[in-house]
């Protein structure tokens, strides 16, 4: 590889980079808080402490969900690498491009891509779907567990005992709840928490695979895949497969 073969390309726009790193920090915060909450009994966390942890978890969750919604919208307005057309798998010749990419990856000259490579598109799509499911189920749980928006007021009105102001309900105060309504709410909540928990474990696997794939690709292609998410620019050897503009 010579310096003459190297070219710098503008790839990731600022909103995409911001989403990525806010998402990283939010997910790390949610994972940490979630694990402590899940093991609160073993760790000897008091009930007020557990409520505080859940409140912090929900607040970080709002940041996570808002950031995700902005990214989903940005998929319609970002640059060509950030748009859905550059993310979602499919299109004419897609499966051939996946085959060719995998084959070339183990050759002396792997095919380079500026945006997501054909295989990476699958991984990114799966990850976004899982993140969306986690955000939606988390918002439902925020309402059913500690009466936070967007469903908190409705849940409180549903389970408040006769003569109790729904706005005064607090978590774990069963004497304030109508027992039958509370059990019905718990049944409503169950599939959401089950989905939330199993999506969490699936996300851990997918995120680990994502990090491993990025590191391996960085080493194999001798590129700047990781630094590009900080700078927005990639230094590429040769001609990228998805470079449609001479001066990208």
Mean pLDDT of the chain: 91
Taking only the tens place, the pLDDT of each residue in 120-144 is 999 999 999 999 999 999 999 999 9
- Domain coverage including residue 131: 3-152+185-237
Give the CATH number of the domain where residue 43 resides.
1.20.950.20
Cα–Cα distance for residue pair 201/37, rounded to 1 Å: 15
Cα–Cα distance for residue pair 219/215, rounded to 1 Å: 6
CA atoms within 13 A on the CB side of 16: 24
Cα–Cα distance for residue pair 123/141, rounded to 1 Å: 27
CA angle 101, 107, 111 (to 5 degrees): 35
pLDDT at 226: 87
Cα–Cα distance for residue pair 203/232, rounded to 1 Å: 25
Q: What is the C-alpha radius of gyration for the chain, rounded to an integer number of angstroms?
A: 23
Q: Which of 73-77, 93-97, 114-118, 224-228 has the highest mean pLDDT?
A: 73-77
Residues linked to residue 234 through DSSP beta bridges, in sequence order: 9
Across 27-47, average pLDDT? 93
Cα–Cα distance for residue pair 122/224, rounded to 1 Å: 21
Residue 175, in any domain of the structure: no
Cα–Cα distance for residue pair 52/46, rounded to 1 Å: 10
Taking only the tens place, the pLDDT of each residue in 197-219 is 999 999 999 999 999 999 988 88
Residue 160, in any domain of the structure: no
Residue 247, in any domain of the structure: no
226 Cβ contact list (under 8 Å, min separation 6): 214, 215, 218
Residue 180, in any domain of the structure: no
Across 162-176, average pLDDT? 94
Residue 113, in any domain of the structure: yes
Residue 91, in any domain of the structure: yes
Residue 158, in any domain of the structure: no
Taking only the tens place, the pLDDT of each residue in 38-96 is 899 899 999 999 999 999 999 999 999 999 999 999 999 999 999 999 999 988 889 99
Residue 179, in any domain of the structure: no
Domain total in the chain: 1
């Amino acid at each position: 590889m010579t310096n003459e073969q190297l070219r710098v390309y503008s790839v990731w726009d600022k909103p995409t980079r911001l989403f990525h790193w806010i998402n990283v920090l939010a997910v790390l915060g949610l994972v940490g808080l979630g694990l402590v909450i899940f093991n609160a009994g073993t760790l000897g966390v008091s009930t007020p402490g557990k409520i505080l942890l859940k409140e912090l978890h929900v607040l970080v969750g709002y940041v996570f969900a808002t950031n995700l919604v902005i990214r989903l919208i940005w998929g319609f307005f970002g640059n060509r690498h950030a748009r859905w057309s550059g993310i979602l798998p499919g299109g004419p010749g897609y499966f051939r491009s996946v085959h060719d990419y995998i084959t070339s990856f183990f050759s002396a000259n792997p095919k380079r891509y500026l945006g997501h490579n054909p295989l990476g598109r699958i991984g990114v799509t799966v990850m976004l779907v899982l993140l969306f499911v986690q955000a939606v189920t988390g918002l439902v749980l925020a309402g059913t567990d500690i009466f936070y928006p967007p469903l908190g007021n409705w849940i409180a009105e549903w389970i408040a005992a006769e003569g109790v102001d729904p706005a005064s309900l607090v978590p774990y105060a069963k004497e304030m709840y109508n027992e039958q309504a509370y059990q019905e709410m718990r049944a409503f909540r169950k599939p959401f928490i089950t989905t939330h928990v199993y999506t969490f474990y699936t996300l851990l696997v997918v995120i680990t695979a994502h990090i491993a794939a990025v590191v391996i690709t960085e080493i194999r292609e001798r590129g700047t895949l990781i630094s590009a998410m900080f700078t927005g620019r990639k230094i590429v050897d040769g001609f990228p497969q998805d470079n449609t503009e001479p001066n990208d």
